[in-house]
A and B are shown apart, each in its own frame.
Chain A
Amino acid sequence: MQFTGMRIPIETFRLPNGLFVTLSEDHTAPIVAVNLWYHVGSANERPGRTGFAHLFEHMLFQGSADVGANEHFELIQRAGGTLNGSTWLDRTNYFETVPSNQLELVLWLEANRMGWLLPAMSQQKLDTQRDVVKNERRWSVDNQPYGTWWERLPALVFPEEHPFHHSLIGSMADLDAASLDDIKHFFATYYTPDNAVLSIAGDFDAADARRLVDKYFGKIPAGRGKPPLPVMDLPATFGEWKRVVVEDDVMLPRLFLAFRAPAFGTLPYYASSVCATILGSRKGSRLYRRLVRERQIAAEAQAFTYDLTKASDLFVIDVTARPSVSAETLERDVADEVDVLVRDGVTEDEVARAVALVQAEFVAAMQSAGDRADRLSMFATYFKDPDLVNKQVQQYEAVTVAAVNAFVRERLGENNRASLLFVPKSEGEGEAAASDELAAGVGSAVQS
């Protein structure tokens, strides 16, 4: 038997105010997912306001003209639904999965805050959410071993003037500086129907949904355009091996080795993604087999792509040392594995394994209405073509050994590497043994 592929049904339409809508019916259970992507993220923040896009996401749960603070959460949970929101470099999303008889409530809630957020905003709500977000920063970044990696890595690999360079969660000082005026301005500029995609997946009738979307969102006026992002194009490689070493409150060295890679959705992206699966997805991957199982120098090993659509994507290897393995050994041995890959390429068998995993992961994800809706929103936002969700598996199936090897040769060489290496703080004399070899030159400044 062969995997014959599967398609999810998709309908799209656009309201006169510019709201792009995708619908995907599935009546196997009385569940419906609503997913709204706004095409704005931390990349759109102005200088001195790092973290604002994410703080703003919190404010969207603080009520709107007809909804009280936190009432959005309460109404959805009372309806038997789940919900959340998330902020990324270039988009912010809001999503709910509810029993299908509650679809209209969700559309009303989302429309109320898209159209009439500002009457509910207040200084006191902003101050509280600022505190909540500062605690989120402490919790997810400052008080977590290696927690700063996801702001240090973009800072290392994107030039300073690039919109992806700065911290997504933001600095404490910039969070302090955020004002109600910023809220008004950001809302008017970015939270407009023509800057959003609305997806509905699950148990609903398409004609009803069209009517309801028009009823609740149709009267919200279009925006007046948003300022263009600066040019984000980057050379295909760094042109060097960038290195930064960070002393942190950690017990074991951990290396993030990043490479510039083809942007998400381009043809060579699929070769990059297949390569990440070969190198570092699951226990049968190369890095896991070589470094964790055979040589036993790593406790964990993985590789993944960031899936950035603008300019250049990132291909990242993430390996944590076993106790008593030095940071220097870790970095050298990981680089050796990459060098072997560059020299010898991948095998037919490895590509087949990656494709089989992609096929299964796709079907597994499509079981969930929320995942369906999110992917529809993603492809509609980035490429204006939600039907791309149905073409992903074929894109992977078309990847050849030659394509992966071409990617490996072009992108994984020494002229396109960035090492972010965490080492345990050298406090007591004995404890520093693991990082002694790196003692010279240790610091948190970017070296290149």
Chain B
Amino acid sequence: MTDIATAERLPRPKAGEPRPYQFPRFERAVLPNGMKLIVAPIAKLPIVTISVVAEAGAVADPPMRAGLAQLTAKSLLEGTTSPDGTAITDRFERLGASIDAHADWDVAAVTVTTLTHKLAESFDLLGAVLRRPGFNEREVERLKAERLAELLQQRAEPRGLADELFTRFLYDSRSRYALPDGGDETSVRGLARAEVVRFYEARYSPASMTMIVAGDVEPSAFERMAGAVFGDWRGILTAPASSSDEPARGTRALHIVNKPDAPQSELRIGHVGLPRHHPEYFPVVIMNAVLGGLFSSRINLNLREVHGYTYGANSYFDWRRQRGPWVVATAVASEVTHAAATEVLKEIDRFRAAPITEDELTLATSYLDGVFPIRFETTSAIASALTTLVVYDLPDDWYDEYRARVRAVTSSDVLLAAQRHLHPEALQMVVVGNAAAVREGMETIAFGPVQRYDVEGRPA
């Protein structure tokens, strides 16, 4: 290695002149039956993504029927009345196309990505999936059984368990958000095929759907094709559903979920957050980036790089139409659980006490500004960005204005956002881990009343 010292090191270079970037242009149209179209032609590669969005998310689940929206969405891919039965996903795969159907909290979406030369055939199949689902009893029952298997697996999977129990403890039991979006054991067992059919008929209505297309298409040709496949489908307007988003309590509580052999504690600390459509969205996004969103955030650098407590720690807003959770998530060695929790609490308090530095502000703003084009390299990423516009009712120039609005955020905006929207007094903390190993340490931090549970979430 002696020769290395003799080699000349060069100073850090300056950035060149940035090249302009524009979020892809898109056109809107409406089919005669009321189905809305958004088409973004992308002349890059012979590939197209189509996403059909329906007002059929989990918040539309009827009382006691949590999981119906997801079951309905998944059942769409389990067969059509014509063409023949259960072979529908096989048909997509023979075209090389991928198809996915799922319901999130606000909407359900069926998404197809296909090479351009298979677009017409894939699109016909998509028409069959949406318009002629078979809802075969056997397949619906199988999907229920698969969901129950997933829930069973989760009892042994600490990350998923911590996420699920955190939201369960966070929200008032009357809120749909208190239960997992796919439903829990009790609610899933109760779902029946007839309910799936009714949910589909009420909520998959063309007049309330938007079809989003990104990729190698010509808008007017695509509109003709959409008209031919979906134009004569009739249905009534479906109102968006909503649910209570009230927290279970206004004060702190510590929830310890005992997993006796766990070598690590899964830690969640947070409270009810904000609705996605919020006037302070940008300051709040910058706030979260600096606090826990970025690798170089305060919480990650503290827990990982200063203390070596964890492989990683982050915080995020789970954005929904209504108030989803804001949460700090990490996994730490059992013996430092209380120390890690203390550091997180300190970082939250410190964030509300003084403005972030100019360096911190520009790290977050220049990251979000600069990374913007990188977020939209693929047709599916562009379709997903356009879906966001639809679901949260954002203006068409949202992405054109995005970077300027990021850059306009100041450190006092961020401080104000932190003081308004971080609520240390209302934090809920969930520890999934070895209760015996963490108990003593957790008592020393006197966070709030302690409740103990087993992995089913039953008080223990």
Contact = CB atoms under 8 A, between A and B. Distances in A.
B286 to A, nearest CB: 13
Interface in B327-370: 331-333, 362-363, 366-370
A139 B162 CA distance: 13
B372 A364 contact: no
Contacts of A360: 47, 96-98, 113-115
Contact of B94 (A70, A112, A352): A352
B308 A132 contact: yes
Contact of A249 (B3, B94, B261, B296): B261
Given A77-B295, A356-B96, A138 B331 contact: yes
Interface string B75-110: 001000000001101101111111000000000000
Contacts of A144: 157-159
B200 interface: no
B13 to A, nearest CB: 4
B415 to A, nearest CB: 21
B115 A73 contact: no
A258 interface: no
Interface stretch (A215-223, A267-275, A377-385): A215-223
**From B11, B93, B301, B332, residue with most partner A Cβ within 10 Å:** B93
B3 A135 contact: no
A78 B374 contact: no
B12 interface: yes
A139 B311 CA distance: 8
A296 B145 contact: yes
Contacts of B77: 283
B420 interface: no
Interface string A85-123: 000000000000111111111001000100110100000
Contacts of B225: none
Interface in B262-321: 262-264, 266, 294-296, 301, 304-311
B11 to A, nearest CB: 8
A135 B93 contact: no
Given A3-B117, A363-B45, A135 B9 contact: no
Given A3-B117, A99-B370, A360-B113, A219 B7 contact: yes
A81 B370 contact: yes
A394 interface: no
A355 B96 CA distance: 8
**From A66, A78, A292, residue with most partner B Cβ within 10 Å:** A78
Nearest to A97: B374
Contacts of B388: none
B155 interface: yes
B363 A74 contact: yes
Given A252-B149, A282-B89, A363-B115, A143 B263 contact: yes
A145 B157 CA distance: 6
Given A6-B45, A78-B363, A353-B93, A29 B12 contact: no
**From A77, A133, A215, A292, residue with most partner B Cβ within 10 Å:** A77
A192 to B, nearest CB: 10
Interface stretch (B14-22, B61-69, B228-236, B446-454): B14-22
B309 A135 contact: yes
Interface in B102-138: 113-118
Given A98-B370, A132-B311, A138-B331, A115 B9 contact: yes
A131 interface: yes
Nearest to B331: A139
A6 to B, nearest CB: 7
B97 A101 contact: no
Contacts of A135: 264, 308-311, 331-333
Contacts of A188: 1
Nearest to A355: B96
Contacts of B153: 145, 250-252, 299, 320
B9 A116 contact: yes
B241 interface: no
B262 A364 contact: no
Contacts of B205: none
A108 B12 contact: yes
A318 interface: no
Interface string B41-66: 00011110000000000000000000
Interface string B372-394: 11101111100000000000000
A181 interface: no
Nearest to A125: B305
B115 A323 contact: no
B221 interface: no
Contact of B156 (A130, A215, A249): A249
B404 interface: no
Nearest to A30: B19
Interface in B240-270: 261-264, 266
B445 interface: no
Interface string A130-152: 11111110111011110000000
A115 B7 contact: yes
B194 interface: no
Nearest to A62: B305
A178 to B, nearest CB: 14
A143 B158 CA distance: 7
Given A99-B370, A116-B4, A367-B47, A143 B264 contact: yes
Nearest to B16: A101
Contact of B46 (A6, A30, A352): A6
Contacts of A140: 311
Contacts of B47: 360, 363-364, 367
B239 interface: no
A251 B18 contact: no
Contacts of A361: 96
Contact of B96 (A79, A115, A359): A359
B400 interface: no
Nearest to B301: A70
Contact of B371 (A81, A100, A292, A323): A81
B264 A142 contact: yes
B148 interface: yes
A82 interface: yes
Given A136-B311, A299-B146, A367-B44, A78 B367 contact: yes
Nearest to B17: A101
A284 B93 contact: yes
A69 interface: yes
Contacts of B92: 284
A414 interface: no
B44 A356 contact: no
A363 B114 CA distance: 10
B145 A322 contact: yes
Pick the 10 closest A-B CB pairs, nearest first: A80-B370, A131-B308, A356-B96, A360-B96, A284-B90, A1-B117, A30-B19, A101-B16, A136-B311, A284-B93
21 contacts: A1-B116, A6-B45, A30-B19, A78-B370, A79-B366, A81-B374, A82-B371, A100-B16, A132-B308, A132-B310, A134-B333, A135-B264, A135-B332, A139-B264, A203-B19, A216-B10, A251-B155, A282-B89, A293-B142, A360-B114, A361-B96
Given A128-B307, A349-B94, 6 more contacts: A128-B308, A130-B308, A221-B3, A293-B86, A293-B139, A323-B149
